[in-house]
Structure 1
Amino acid sequence: MERALTAKGAATRQRIVEGAALLIREQGVPNVGLEDIRMATATSKSQLFHYFPAGKADLMLSVAAHEAELVIAEQMPHLGDLTSWRKWQAWRRRVVQIYDAQRQRCTLSALTAQLGTGDPATREIVTTLLDRWQGYLVAGVQALKDSGEADPGIDPLVAATSILTAITGGAGMLQATDRISYLDIALTDTIEGLRRPTARTRRKSA
């Protein structure tokens, strides 16, 4: 059970987590030790272990949770308002922009690779992130169906899962090849599949 922190304590802990996340983005997980984080965040050794009793493993999990929150936050407000075809396109551009800027510096991917998703705590962070992300996409697909802009036969959960898979798969290929095209093409094509058949026909003939 996590200890209750004062407002000052919570702010200090958050400062350490954010500082560690920034350092890891710049240098990579294997190159960052507790001493590096301590120096970068102007934190004493006793203070560091006060907030993260298990040391680096504890801190890395906290950084992973922080980065998972950022995955959603960086897509807002677009992800939370997928209520029209135009807004879906704006969100798609935002996602591609985010991953294009990150390239090899995706802290969450680096941390999950380092910590291993076989660890229950890491797996919970990743699963919670994907479930939240999928929930926004399901709501967005349903909104398109309700407005008549999406194929009425589409299952929102299935469509949302395909879109999320296109993103995560494309992001993995980006990490391996440094090519954003995999993500861009997969996401564009999957979203295009949401459109009503008549709309897709008009687009191709235009």
Structure 2
Amino acid sequence: MERVLTRKGEATRARIVAGAAEVLRERGPSVTTLDDVRLRTGTSKSQLFHYFPGGKDDLLLAVARYEGSRVLEDQQPHLGCLDTWDAWYRWRDAVVERYRAQGDTCPLGSLYAQIGRSTPGARAVVVQLLAEWQEHLATGIRALRDGGRLPASIDVDQAAAALLAAIQGGVSIMLSTGRITHLEAALDWHIAQLRSAGEDLPGRMVE
């Protein structure tokens, strides 16, 4: 049965997760210990196991969920209102800035590598994050279509999936090389492809 926490308990757990995320970004999951987290967050060992009975694995999953939510939050409010081309370019710039600031490290990626992609909990976090991200993109493409900027025949889900795959490919190359140019190219190319799909529409909206 899932444990129900008091408001104070929820705040304490959230503080531990945020502090653990900071330690993991600095040191990496392979060398970070519960004592490191305990010292950073000012909590006792009994407190850690109260909120994370499974120990480090439970804590890593909680941090993975936290980092996953930040991936989407850092793209807001742009990701939630992709109804004009100007809005898409603002979102594009927000994505590039997020990963430029992050550099050639990926807290979320290193956590998945440490937990193991075959772990059901870790896989669920990945699936949920990507599904939410893709649905935001699909909602934006539908808004362009419904606003007369894209043809009614466009395959919204396929376009959103292709764009998300391109982003992840650009991020993977950035993590390997330290260069963000491939991510920028992927975003620019896919937005240009979308725009070109609507160029011949009669009475199309121009921004």
Report the TM range for the smaller structure's normalisation: over 0.9
Distance 2:198 2:184 in 1: 24
Aligned to 1:204: none
CA apart distance, 1:51: 0.6
Write out the 4+ residue segments of structure 1 that deviate beyond 6 Å after TM superposition. Answer: none
Give the conservation status (yes or no) of the 8 Å contact 1:151–1:196. no
Distance 2:198 2:130 in 1: 32
* Distance change (3 Å), C-alpha of 1:144 and 1:198: closer
Within-5 A mapping of 1:143-182: 143-182=143-182
Partner SS state of residue 171, structure 2: helix
Give the conservation status (yes or no) of the 8 Å contact 1:152–1:196. no
Give the conservation status (yes or no) of the 8 Å contact 1:84–1:144. yes
What are structure 1's unaligned runs of at least 5 residues? 201-206
Partner SS state of residue 10, structure 1: helix
Give the conservation status (yes or no) of the 8 Å contact 1:149–1:196. no
Give the conservation status (yes or no) of the 8 Å contact 1:151–1:195. no
78-87 or 98-107, which moves further after superposition?
Answer: 98-107
Within-5 A mapping of 1:29-48: 29-48=29-48
CA apart distance, 1:14: 0.5
Aligned to 1:85: 85
Amino acid at match of 2:82: L
Partner SS state of residue 105, structure 2: coil
Distance 2:105 2:24 in 1: 8
Partner SS state of residue 153, structure 1: coil
Partner SS state of residue 194, structure 1: helix
Aligned to 2:3: 3
Give the conservation status (yes or no) of the 8 Å contact 2:151–2:198. no
CA apart distance, 1:153: 3.4
Aligned to 1:25: 25
TM-score norm. by structure 2 comes to 0.92
Distance 2:197 2:62 in 1: 45
Partner SS state of residue 39, structure 1: helix
Matched, 1:125 2:128: no
Give the conservation status (yes or no) of the 8 Å contact 1:26–1:105. no
Distance 2:31 2:39 in 1: 14
Aligned to 1:203: none
Aligned to 2:62: 62
Aligned to 1:138: 138
**Identical residues among aligned pairs (%):** 47
Give the conservation status (yes or no) of the 8 Å contact 2:17–2:66. yes
Amino acid at match of 1:88: W
CA apart distance, 1:192: 1.1
Give the conservation status (yes or no) of the 8 Å contact 2:19–2:37. yes
What are structure 2's unaligned runs of at least 5 residues? 201-207
CA apart distance, 1:26: 1.8
Aligned to 1:185: 185
Give the conservation status (yes or no) of the 8 Å contact 2:149–2:198. no
Partner SS state of residue 29, structure 1: coil
Amino acid at match of 2:131: D
Aligned to 2:195: 195
The count of residues paired between Structure 1 and Structure 2 equals 200
CA RMSD of aligned residues (A): 1.4
TM-score norm. by structure 1 comes to 0.93
Amino acid at match of 1:126: V
